[in-house]
């Protein structure tokens, strides 16, 4: 059993009432519960965190990464702007999958650029809450040493 981290960034605590036409009607608690169930079904432990602050995300990554095998991150808006988050991910050298609920490429121009995607193992964007579950399934396959469809 490995520990997998799930980190959600700013404003994702508002899921369920935040622009539901864009982000869906599930709350973050709903999503975390489903992800924990899925991780358990796959034989792993999921440790969840949400932070509205860039420093809070960096601190948590630095604390948790040494005992974790993989990360799923929805960086929210910081994915488009944060060199500090990019440096933290490079610094802790934890492989990660970037997830966005919405299709960031079908929205405003500024959402098309990412500080993280080129250093991620992969990115899932636009598949709603299911994106988190698909990321966990991919990670479990990687941790089993399989993953012919991955790096
Ligand atoms: C988001 C997309 C970002 O552009 C936005 O700032 C968010 C949510 C998503 O999950 O679709 O906060 O990461």
Each residue's pLDDT tens digit, 49-103: 999 999 999 999 999 999 999 999 999 999 999 999 999 999 999 999 999 999 9
CATH of the domain at 125: 3.40.50.9100
Domain count for the chain, please give it.
Answer: 1
CB burial of residue 69 (10 Å; 0-12, 13-18, 19+): middle
Q: Is residue 111 part of a domain?
A: no
Q: What is the dihedral of CA 92, 93, 94, 95, to 10 degrees?
A: 160
The reported pTM is 0.95
Single out the catalytic residue among 23, 70, 78, 132: 23
Beta 70-74 vs 96-100: how paired, if at all?
parallel
Instruction: Retrieve residue 23's tokens.
Output: 């982000």
Handedness of CA 11, 65, 33, 86 (dihedral sign): positive
pLDDT in tens, 2-45: 999 999 999 999 999 998 988 988 999 999 999 999 999 999 99
CA-based angle 143:37:88, to the nearest 5? 55
pLDDT of residue 76: 98
- Name the residue at shortest CA distance from atom 12 of ligand 1: 76
Nearest partner of 82 among 62, 56, 63, judged by Cα: 56
Please give the residue range of the domain that contains residue 10. 3-75+92-105+116-143
Q: Is residue 28 part of a domain?
A: yes
Q: Is residue 85 part of a domain?
A: no
Across 109-113, 116-120, 140-144, least confident range: 109-113
pLDDT of residue 22: 83
- Residue ranges of alpha helices (H) inside the chain are 20-23, 28-41, 54-64, 78-81, 83-92, 130-143
Ligand 1 centroid, distance to 1 Cα (angstroms): 30
Single out the catalytic residue among 70, 78, 100, 132: 100
Q: Is residue 16 part of a domain?
A: yes
């Amino acid at each position: 059993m490995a520990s997998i981290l799930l980190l959600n960034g700013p404003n994702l605590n508002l899921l369920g009432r935040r622009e539901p036409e864009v982000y869906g009607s599930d709350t973050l608690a709903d999503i975390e519960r489903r992800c924990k169930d899925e991780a358990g079904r796959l034989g792993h432990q999921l440790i969840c965190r949400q932070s509205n602050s860039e420093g809070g995300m960096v601190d948590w990554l630095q604390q948790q990464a040494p005992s974790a095998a993989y990360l799923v991150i929805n960086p929210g808006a910081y994915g488009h702007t944060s060199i500090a988050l990019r440096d933290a991910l490079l610094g802790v050298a934890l492989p990660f999958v970037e997830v966005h609920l919405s299709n960031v490429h079908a929205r405003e121009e500024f959402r098309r650029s990412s500080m993280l995607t080129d250093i991620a193992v992969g990115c899932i964007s636009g598949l709603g809450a299911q994106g988190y579950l698909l990321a966990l399934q991919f990670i479990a396959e990687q941790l089993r040493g399989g993953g012919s469809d991955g790096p």
